Amino acid sequence: PGWSESQLRSYPFKTRQIPRLPHGDPRAEELIDNEEPVVLTDTNLVHTALKWDLNYLEENIGNGDFSV
28-61 pLDDT, tens digit per residue, is 999 999 999 999 998 887 778 888 888 888 888 8
Structural domain contains residue 2:
no
Task: Report whether pLDDT(27) > 90.
Answer: yes
Look up the domain containing 59 and give its range: 18-68
Structural domain contains residue 10:
no
Residue 7: pLDDT band with limits 50, 70, 90? confident
pLDDT score, position 1:
62
Structural domain contains residue 1:
no
Structural domain contains residue 4:
no
In this prediction, residues 4-30 reach a mean pLDDT of: 91
Buried b (16+ CB within 10 A) or exposed e, 8-35: eeeeeeeeeeeeebeeebeebeebeeee
pLDDT score, position 25:
96
